[in-house]
């Protein structure tokens, strides 16, 4: 499996992806799935299982769900597994079938080693949050094809990832349903239509609180926030969807994928979750991607590229659906979307602060230590306190990330 480098044409905006390809040489692609026990990882393995002639799973990484990882390992028999620490590695080993003895790696170093291993063609980067940055960078540094579901990698280090990919020939294929929809609507990796784009439009379901009045948001519980109306996701992403921070992070991701200013990326609420994104062209045309609310569609497009794989997902029946509706997001009641735009315009270190404060605040909310509407307050406080700084490498980024998490926890303790 070979692929070309990312190149920018003369006069193109910084970061504009214009020419990359993934050759299909006919042999099975060797997959490493990072975050295998999460919703994206589980869906990726379902795609691989549906096409066993196309994929060989050579490595699986989880974090703490060793029981599910052991089941996945027994089904696919990868030569390497990875978990968070030595205690979980021991527990995992005890759950594996007799006669099956894969290498078991641990911690961030283990995930990075797995992502850059020589026998891996495609890395599915689906570790949630800032923890996914190190493995994503390792995969990019090794020149892999990266099916990127970890949007935080681009939020934290978009410039660094893009520069590294340009140097190594790595290919980044977006798994997020919105960015994957744009990727398809605009013509794939070459993105020939990007110079014609006036605006990209990301759709949001609106989450579980779309119709809730502002006063009810103050009383929102974790159980209510996790009850997403259309998508099945993990707890962190579900809360981000409820606050609209998930869409804010996706605005940053779109700008860094396509080298666009924040003013060229809009968000509309589309509760049916059938239209995943749209591109408005300079002749007034709108290019939209429609499909079921099933992440296997986006995952399969990345894993199969340039082929489009058949999938056993549900089909959209437009007659039964009847109508598609769109509305403006309630940004006054859901300020995280505006905070994300503010951070992007302020500079690279501010998006690191945004993400760290959000992850810390979401964890506090899920633990019952911060109210739902305390999440945007915590993020705003972190951005207000940050004067900006250079973030030239991953170590600096992660140092800033750790400091902001500590400061956000301290802020919440004082506020309690």
Nearest one of 379, 197, 182, 207 to 284, comparing CA atoms: 197
Nearest one of 375, 366, 370 to 226, comparing CA atoms: 366
Contact 394, 137 (CB under 8 A): yes
Higher per-residue confidence, 127 vs 20: 127
Q: Give the position of tokens 């800032």.
A: 130
In the structure encoding, which two tokens stand for residue 299, read together? 């995952």
Cα separation, 234 vs 295, in Å, equals 13
pLDDT digits (tens, 9 = 90+) for 47-78: 999 999 999 999 999 999 999 999 999 999 99
Report, as an integer, the average pLDDT of 89-117: 97
H or E element in which residue 343 lies: helix 336-346
pLDDT score recorded for residue 23: 57
Report, as an integer, the average pLDDT of 103-120: 97
Q: What is the mean pLDDT of the chain?
A: 90
Cα separation, 148 vs 154, in Å, equals 9
pLDDT digits (tens, 9 = 90+) for 254-270: 999 888 899 999 999 99
pLDDT band at 193 (very low <50, low <70, confident <90, very high): low
Judge whether residue 194 has pLDDT over 90.
Answer: no
pLDDT score recorded for residue 406: 98
Domains of the chain: 29-175 (3.40.50.720), 193-291+316-321 (no CATH), 347-415 (1.10.1740.10)
3-state secondary structure of 352: helix
In the structure encoding, which two tokens stand for residue 18, read together? 């214009």
Cα separation, 143 vs 171, in Å, equals 7
| Lowest mean pLDDT segment, chosen from 9-13, 42-46, 156-160 | 9-13
pLDDT digits (tens, 9 = 90+) for 392-406: 999 999 999 999 999
Cα separation, 327 vs 206, in Å, equals 9
**DSSP letters along 299-329, please?**
HHHHHHTTS-----PPPP-HHHH-----B--
pLDDT score recorded for residue 192: 52
Contact 298, 175 (CB under 8 A): yes
Contacts of 260 (CB under 8 A, 6+ apart): 13, 197, 200, 254
Judge whether residue 124 has pLDDT over 70.
Answer: yes
CA contacts within 13 A on the Cβ side of 211 = 4
pLDDT score recorded for residue 196: 83
| Environment class of 153 (CB within 10 Å of its CB; exposed 0-12, middle 13-18, buried 19+) | buried
The pTM of the full predicted model, rounded to 2 decimals, is: 0.90
Cα torsion 237, 105, 144, 53 to 10°: value is -90
């Amino acid at each position: 499996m070979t692929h070309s480098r990312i190149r920018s044409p003369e006069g193109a905006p910084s970061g504009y992806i214009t020419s990359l390809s993934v050759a299909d040489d006919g042999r099975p692609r060797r997959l490493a799935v990072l975050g295998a026990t999460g919703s994206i990882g589980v869906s990726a393995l379902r795609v691989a299982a549906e096409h066993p002639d196309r994929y060989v799973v050579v490595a699986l990484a989880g974090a703490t769900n060793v029981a599910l990882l052991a089941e996945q390992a027994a089904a696919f028999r990868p030569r390497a597994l990875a978990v968070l620490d030595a205690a979980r590695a021991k527990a995992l080993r005890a759950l594996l079938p007799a006669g099956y003895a894969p290498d078991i790696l641990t911690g961030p170093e283990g995930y990075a080693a797995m992502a850059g291993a020589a026998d891996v063609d495609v890395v599915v980067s689906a570790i949630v949050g800032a923890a996914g940055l190190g493995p994503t960078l390792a995969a990019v540094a090794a020149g892999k094809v990266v099916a990127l579901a970890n949007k935080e990698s681009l939020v934290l280090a978009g410039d660094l990832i893009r520069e590294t990919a340009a140097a190594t020939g790595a290919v980044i294929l977006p798994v997020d349903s919105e960015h994957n929809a744009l990727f398809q609507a605009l013509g794939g990796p070459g993105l020939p239509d990007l110079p014609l784009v006036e605006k990209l439009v990301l759709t949001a379901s609106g989450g579980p609180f779309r119709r809730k009045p502002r006063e009810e948001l103050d009383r929102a519980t974790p159980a209510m926030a996790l009850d997403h109306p259309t998508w099945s996701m993990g707890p962190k992403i579900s809360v981000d969807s409820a606050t609209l921070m998930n869409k804010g992070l996706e605005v940053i991701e779109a700008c860094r994928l396509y080298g666009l200013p924040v003013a060229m990326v809009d968000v509309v609420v589309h509760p049916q979750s059938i239209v995943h994104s749209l591109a408005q062209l300079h002749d007034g045309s709108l290019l939209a991607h429609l499909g079921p609310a099933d992440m296997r569609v986006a995952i399969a497009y990345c894993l199969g590229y340039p082929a489009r794989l058949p999938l056993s997902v549900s089909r959209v029946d437009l007659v039964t659906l009847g109508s598609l509706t769109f509305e403006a997001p309630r940004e006054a009641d859901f300020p995280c979307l505006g905070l994300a735009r503010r951070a992007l315009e302020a500079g690279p270190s501010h998006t690191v602060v945004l993400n760290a404060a959000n992850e810390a605040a979401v964890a506090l909310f899920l633990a019952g230590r911060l109210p739902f509407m305390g999440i945007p307050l915590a993020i705003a406080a972190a951005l207000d306190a940050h004067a900006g700084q250079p973030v030239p490498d991953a170590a600096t980024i992660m140092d800033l990330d750790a400091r902001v998490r500590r400061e956000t926890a301290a802020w919440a303790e004082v506020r309690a």
